């Protein structure tokens, strides 16, 4: 039965294959998911602080709650996709994200922010990495790496384009009006696209149904995974790296501003994001043929080297170039875990395992910005926390090469 599942194939290389339409849908979903759910958090913090004078710690605690609650929900994404279908899961995620965006624009008390963040966590679970990788896993096998890489460029696009548009809308319509406009734009665009293009995975329904019946339960897969060396080496390595990566990026402007000025610091961040997109596109053409654990280790090490240069250099061009080198791997570190899971583990467990990896990563990196901020305040500079990030990246580069022999079914 497992072999029949693997061989139930279509021509994934054909431009006419319906799966590539799903890639476009996932790109758009990721654009809104990351634009409103991930990058938008920095905008909400600034606006709520400006409007109500709430402490940044109070607002950012709500953001941490959003990440942690979202991580709990992401664990069950694969079961939701199986139970309700990919179309309904996407529709639910889009509607929840839109409702949360409108609610954030209307908050006037701190407790309301936490309610909005809780609702946004449902939207995030239905529009971000877990649901996108699960969906593309239904349409792609041999070209899954390329499909996921291309779709997740929407995440970077959401940061590069979505956030400036949101800021411009706030200046024109006010915070409440801008959030309502963004939510309406997402609903008007995404609901018809999802209804028209997302249906049953072509040519795989029967095989998937049989495989799902033969597969062990999701709770059993998760329990086995948390005792499996091969799985844990992936989950822990990427959790450490994303803790360092997210924490560093959040603090990057604060670090560069005194050294090269706000304008050049913003340029460095924009270049980092653009390089993340470029790196993901370039890797997508070859990633399915690479040793993906080795590619991960090299990516971790390249970020560590770039960060070492950033700590020690005071030259404007060198700092910007080092940010570009760091950014080249940023997008691929989101894609690589799903590709390693696909290659090394039973395909019947793919959805459950990638949801579990995503949740572990999100729980871990939720604390990255806060821990780096605390270490910076305690030591008086960013050198100590950034050296800590380098240490985590090098540990992860070693850990990811510990493959072990998986006993997962």
Residue 156 makes CB contacts below 8 A (sequence gap 6+) with 34, 273, 274, 276, 277, 280, 331
> For the chain, give me the number of helices (H) and strands (E)?
21, 0
Give per-residue pLDDT as tens, 1-27. Answer: 444 444 455 666 776 788 899 999 999
pLDDT at 165: 87
CA distance 405 to 126: 32
Identify whether 21 is part of a domain. yes
pLDDT at 134: 86
Instruction: Work out the pLDDT band at 215, boundaries 50, 70, 90.
Output: low
Domain of 404?
215-409
Q: Are residues 278 and 196 part of one domain?
A: no
Task: Write the pLDDT tens digit of every residue in 261-305.
Answer: 877 887 887 788 788 888 888 887 777 778 889 999 999 999 999
Domain membership of residue 158 (yes or no) is yes
Query: pLDDT at position 118, please?
Result: 95
Token readout for 143 is: 């070209």
Residues 387 and 333 in one domain: yes
Q: How far is CA 221 from CA 23, 146, 174, 182, in A?
A: 27, 26, 47, 39
- Which of 185, 213, 241 terminates a domain? The answer is 213
Is residue 1 situated within a structural domain? no
One domain, residues 187 and 232: no
291, 303: one domain: yes
**Together in a domain, 234 and 338:** yes
Mean pLDDT, residues 145-150: 83
Whole-angstrom distance, CA of residue 176 vs CA of residue 238: 37
Instruction: Indicate whether 4 belongs to any domain.
Output: no
What's the number of domains the chain is made of? 2
pLDDT tens readout for residues 316-338: 899 999 999 999 988 888 888 88
Q: Are residues 285 and 409 in the same domain?
A: yes
Q: Do 282 and 203 have their domain in common?
A: no
Residue 408 is given by DSSP the state -
- Asked whether residue 8 is domain-assigned, the answer is no
Q: What is the pLDDT of residues 221-260, one digit of tens each?
A: 888 888 889 899 999 999 999 999 988 887 887 788 888 8
Average pLDDT, the chain: 85
Residue 10 lies in a domain: no
CATH of the domain at 171: 1.20.1250.20
The per-residue pLDDT for range 34-56, each reduced to its tens digit, is: 889 887 887 887 788 888 988 87
392 and 308 in a common domain? yes
341 and 221 Cβ atoms separated by less than 8 Å: no
Stretch 394-402: mean pLDDT, rounded? 95
User: Are 154 and 132 found together in one domain?
Assistant: yes
Domain presence at residue 7: no
Residues 127 and 221 in one domain: no
Same domain? For 338 and 359 the reply is yes
Residue 283's pLDDT is 81
Residue 203 has a pLDDT of 58
The residue from 167, 186, 213 where one domain ends is: 213
Q: Region 353-369: what's the mean pLDDT?
A: 88
The confidence score (pLDDT) of residue 408 equals 60
Question: DSSP secondary structure string, 291-356?
Answer: -HHHHHHHHHHHHHHHHHHHHH---HHHHHHHHHHHHHTTTHHHHHHHHHHHHHS-GGGHHHHHHH
pLDDT, tens only, 164-212: 888 889 889 999 999 999 999 999 999 999 999 998 876 554 454 445 4
Final residue of a domain: which of 151, 178, 213?
Answer: 213
Residue 254 lies in a domain: yes
Q: Do residue 150 and residue 110 come from a single domain?
A: yes
pLDDT, tens only, 71-122: 899 888 988 988 899 999 999 999 999 999 999 999 999 999 999 999 999 9
pTM for the model stands at 0.80
% of the chain residues with pLDDT over 70 = 91
């Amino acid at each position: 039965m497992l072999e029949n599942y693997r061989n139930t194939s279509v021509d994934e290389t054909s431009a006419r294959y319906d799966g590539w339409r799903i890639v476009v849908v996932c790109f758009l979903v990721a654009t809104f998911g990351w634009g409103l759910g991930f990058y938008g958090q920095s905008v909400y913090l600034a606006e709520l602080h400006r409007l109500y004078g709430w402490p940044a710690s109070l607002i950012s605690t709500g953001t941490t709650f959003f990440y942690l609650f979202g991580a709990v929900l992401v664990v069950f994404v694969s079961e939701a996709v199986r139970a309700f279908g990919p179309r309904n899961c996407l529709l639910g995620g889009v509607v929840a994200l839109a409702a949360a965006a409108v609610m954030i624009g209307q908050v006037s008390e701190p407790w309301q922010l936490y309610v909005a963040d809780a609702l946004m966590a449902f939207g995030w679970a239905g529009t971000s990495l877990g649901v996108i990788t699960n969906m593309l896993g239904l349409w792609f096998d041999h070209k899954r790496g390329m499909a996921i890489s291309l779709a997740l460029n929407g995440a970077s696009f959401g940061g590069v384009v979505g956030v400036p548009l949101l800021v411009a809308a706030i200046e024109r319509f006010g915070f409440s009006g801008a959030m309502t406009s963004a939510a309406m734009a997402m609903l008007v665009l995404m609901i018809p696209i999802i209804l028209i293009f997302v249906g049953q995975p072509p040519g795989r329904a029967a095989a998937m149904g049989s495989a799902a019946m033969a597969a062990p339960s999701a709770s059993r897969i998760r329990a086995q995974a948390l005792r499996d060396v091969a799985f844990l080496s992936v989950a822990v390595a990427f959790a450490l790296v994303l803790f360092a990566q997210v924490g560093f990026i959040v603090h990057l402007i604060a670090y560069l501003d005194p050294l090269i000025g706000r304008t050049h610091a913003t340029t460095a961040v924009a270049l980092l994001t653009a390089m993340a997109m470029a790196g993901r596109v370039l890797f997508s053409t070859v990633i399915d043929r690479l040793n993906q654990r080795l590619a991960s280790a090299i990516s971790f090490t390249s970020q560590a080297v770039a960060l070492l240069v950033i700590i020690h250099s005071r030259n404007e061009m060198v700092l910007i170039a080092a940010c570009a080198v760091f950014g080249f791997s940023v997008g691929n570190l989101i894609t690589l875990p799903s590709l390693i899971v696909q290659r090394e583990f039973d395909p019947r467990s793919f959805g459950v395992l990638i949801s579990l990896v995503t949740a572990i990563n999100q729980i871990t990196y939720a604390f990255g910005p806060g821990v780096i901020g605390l270490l910076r305040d305690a030591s008086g500079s960013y050198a100590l926390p950034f050296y800590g990030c380098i240490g985590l990246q090098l540990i992860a580069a070693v850990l990811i090469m510990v493959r072990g022999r998986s006993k997962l079914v």
